[in-house]
Structure 1
């Protein structure tokens, strides 16, 4: 098996969103497609890897957030089969509700950020249950239900490697700051920690983060990431008790994460990259929403 990291250069910035080209016994698949706005970059990267786009017959998406699955419909319309969580399938087949909701959030920035999301033909979308596998060449791709970032989140396992989507966090390459993807509306810290514990117990050799790239120090990474989930939850919950407004919650969250990032050794320009990839304002909103619903 061969795995190649394809950098989608989201917002003209390298090292933020990855798609993975996986080859086994002459069969090719993608794990993650990135947003519609980077489709042409992805297609060019596939060709640069020496692979015909028509050879991509299987596509695995961890969840249907636009930075992970926005281009899945294009591949489905060109003959690939999309594999996803059962709760994600209907949004791949008809992404209109998902796109309308995103447009309400992003407004005029919607198209430059995310681009279009084409509908996938229903017969090209297969929902995978937890523990179900699909053959790719001479390996098996196993789906793992890993909620916490989203209820419809899968990680995909091949042997001793795992494609983690957002469940193992965001870490820029060659840095130590661990950013928790916590966008609304489905952040759930309890489920999130349980999902990370499942990864820890598996003793994977390598994690492939969508944001961004392979992680080889798996035990260290996951041991450091697990408490970060609880940390952001407890922080925002405490602020909510104080009566903090949404705007103040965002400002405090940004300040806290910025300080943690710089303390970890992140440079200011890398912090700005992190904000593009996993904005603190949206994470602050996601954690706050969970806390409000739980009161």
Structure 2
């Protein structure tokens, strides 16, 4: 088996969204597709490895947020089988509700950011429950139900490595700052921490983050990320209790995160990249909505 990391160069920026090509036997498997806007970059990356995209027979998406699964329908229409969480399948088959919701948020930027999300034929979508296994080439992939970032989130295990989607956060290569992926509306700290602890207990040799790349200091990363989830939740809860409104919570969240990132050696240029990949205003909203529900 060979694992290839492809940088999808989201918004012409390196190191924000990865897709992974698993080369095993005579088959190719994709883990994550990225958005429709980066489909041609993904295809070019596969060709650049000297591989034939027609051999992509399996596509696994951790969840249906557009930066992870926006191009899944295109691959299904080419004949690949798409695997996802039970609560994600309907959105891959009929993405109209997902697209409409995203368009309300991104408005005129929707198409340039995310591109098209094509419906996947129903017979090309397979649900994976916790612990289900898929044979791809000469290896087996196990799906783990890992809620917290989203209730329909899976992590994928191959041997002693884990493809984490968003459940292990965002981290730029070669840096120490861990950005909490907390997009609304399903950030939930208790199951999130439990998911991270499950990964930590497994003793993986490597993690492969969608945002972004290979992580080898697995224990430090996951234990640190568990604390970060708790920290952002407690901070927003305190802001909310003090009467801060939505705009003020966003301002305070960004200020705290920027200060922490700088203290850990993040440059201003990398901070701009982080904001493009995991916007603090969006994350502040996700945590605030959770707090407002009494969590």
TM-score, normalised via structure 1 length = 0.99
| Alpha-carbon shift at residue 51 of structure 1 (Å) | 1.1
> What whole-Å deviation, never above 9, does each CA across 1:167-198 have from its counterpart, x for those lacking one?
00100001110000000000000000000000
Query: Which residues in structure 2 correspond to 1:1-295 (within 5 Å)?
Result: 1-294=1-294
User: What is the CA–CA distance in structure 1 between the aligned matches of 2:214 and 2:291, rounded to whole Å?
Assistant: 32
User: What is the CA–CA distance in structure 2 between the aligned matches of 1:51 and 1:122, rounded to whole Å?
Assistant: 27
> Secondary structure in 2 aligned to 1:294?
coil
Q: How many residues of Structure 1 are paired with residues of Structure 2 in the alignment?
A: 295
| Alpha-carbon shift at residue 26 of structure 1 (Å) | 2.0
User: What is the CA–CA distance in structure 1 between the aligned matches of 2:76 and 2:136, rounded to whole Å?
Assistant: 17
User: What is the CA–CA distance in structure 2 between the aligned matches of 1:294 and 1:78, rounded to whole Å?
Assistant: 44
| Alpha-carbon shift at residue 53 of structure 1 (Å) | 1.2
> Secondary structure in 2 aligned to 1:207?
strand
Structure 2 unaligned regions, length at least 5:
none
| Alpha-carbon shift at residue 254 of structure 1 (Å) | 0.4
User: What is the CA–CA distance in structure 2 between the aligned matches of 1:205 and 1:183, rounded to whole Å?
Assistant: 28
> What whole-Å deviation, never above 9, does each CA across 1:210-262 have from its counterpart, x for those lacking one?
00000011011111111000000000000000111101111110000000000
> Secondary structure in 2 aligned to 1:262?
helix
| Alpha-carbon shift at residue 139 of structure 1 (Å) | 1.1
| Alpha-carbon shift at residue 19 of structure 1 (Å) | 0.1
User: What is the CA–CA distance in structure 2 between the aligned matches of 1:130 and 1:27, rounded to whole Å?
Assistant: 24
| Alpha-carbon shift at residue 137 of structure 1 (Å) | 1.5
User: What is the CA–CA distance in structure 2 between the aligned matches of 1:87 and 1:3, rounded to whole Å?
Assistant: 28
Structure 1 unaligned regions, length at least 5:
none
User: What is the CA–CA distance in structure 2 between the aligned matches of 1:57 and 1:189, rounded to whole Å?
Assistant: 35
RMSD: 0.6
> What whole-Å deviation, never above 9, does each CA across 1:192-212 have from its counterpart, x for those lacking one?
000000000000000000000
User: What is the CA–CA distance in structure 1 between the aligned matches of 2:17 and 2:294, rounded to whole Å?
Assistant: 32
TM-score, normalised via structure 2 length = 0.99
Post-superposition, which runs of at least 4 consecutive aligned residues in structure 1 deviate over 4 A? none
User: What is the CA–CA distance in structure 1 between the aligned matches of 2:141 and 2:277, rounded to whole Å?
Assistant: 27
| Alpha-carbon shift at residue 96 of structure 1 (Å) | 0.3
| Alpha-carbon shift at residue 52 of structure 1 (Å) | 1.2
User: What is the CA–CA distance in structure 1 between the aligned matches of 2:253 and 2:238, rounded to whole Å?
Assistant: 12
